[in-house]
Structure 1
Amino acid sequence: MRAGDNIHSVVVAWMKIILPLVALGLLSTVFLFSRKVDLDQVIPFSQIDLTQRAHDQGVTNPSFAGVATGGEQVSFKADKVRPDRTKEGLLLAEEVRAELRLNGGAVVNITSDFGESDQIEYSALLDGNVHVTTTTGYDIRTDRINAQFDTLRAETPGPVNGTGPPGTLEAGRMLLTSEEEDGTAHLLFTDGVKLVYIPPKQKD
């Protein structure tokens, strides 16, 4: 055997011992300098969310639909709904969206920050930044509106303001109701109506 081959064999043998030891040393330093992780730690927001849901018994993105006695279609949606613990059949809602499809073809959309729906009385109270729009051209804002779903009726207890086909308007109350004879819906403004007429633009 040549001397060079003998030296080469010795070097290879030592490298087989040294390299694994170096790798083991580097691996140990990774664990020494890494941050300790507590595997028993609970994620705080996850626990809060579960506790809140169990306490509120809420439902997210629910929707309800029905038909009034006059044949009008009524739908009710919200981001979140939970039952009221103080009154049976009362639901508390957030970010409410209601749609009334009238027999004549017109559609009334109502949105509000909050709402209460009484499942026994077939009524709802929409509260906070109430916005009413209709496909006939009305855009009305108010603080609160009471709605009855079995017989189509929606009424504001306070003042309203907005725009409509005649122009800009203000009124002490607004009432949406349907006549029992023909089912035609009427939008009425009462209690001190102020109307600024805006003539339609003439076509060239």
Structure 2
Amino acid sequence: MSKILMIVGDFVEDYEVMVPFQILQAFGHEVHAVCPDKSAGDTVATAIHDFEGQQTYSEKRGHNFALNATFAKVEPESYDALVVPGGRAPEYLAIDQRVLKVVKYFATADKPIAATCHGPLILTAAGVVKGKRCQGYPTVRPEIESAGGTWDTPAEGLDSVCVDGNLVTAPAWPANAVWMKAFQEVLVG
């Protein structure tokens, strides 16, 4: 099976990190979760975003998610694919040049990339969505379009997925099942 890199940070969305991490392991993949400036055994705080009828999601403190690899030791060429969860973390990971360098490597090497919710903010900052159809949380649409990507309107329940070649994107955690199923299909070719 594949060796997959997952880039996370404090206040990554709880369901978008824990559920895909476990799903990918259940498929038999080796998944390394890393965060800049943290090491294997450290944790990141997660945030739970919920859709409770307001104009946007609500946010609550989630769990602590344990990292199982060290960002500083990552050699991107040793991985088969990349996963970028959403939440608050992409807001600041998108300005980390080390993260952008890793993302650019995966895109240039045409390796599978899965991103959800606000995760595409990192992809736009890395300049890898030009000419690609993408989904994300609706508020990331301007960044996707400004970066030359084409917005693929998510389903009303935020439970859809968009596949464009090796890029698999989704709007939010309600899409976890279809997002990970589509990513698995890309991984196994």
TM-score (norm 2): 0.26
Q: Which has the higher strand share?
A: 1
TM-score (norm 1): 0.24
Higher relative contact order (CA 8 A, sep 6+): 2
Q: Which has the higher helix share?
A: 2
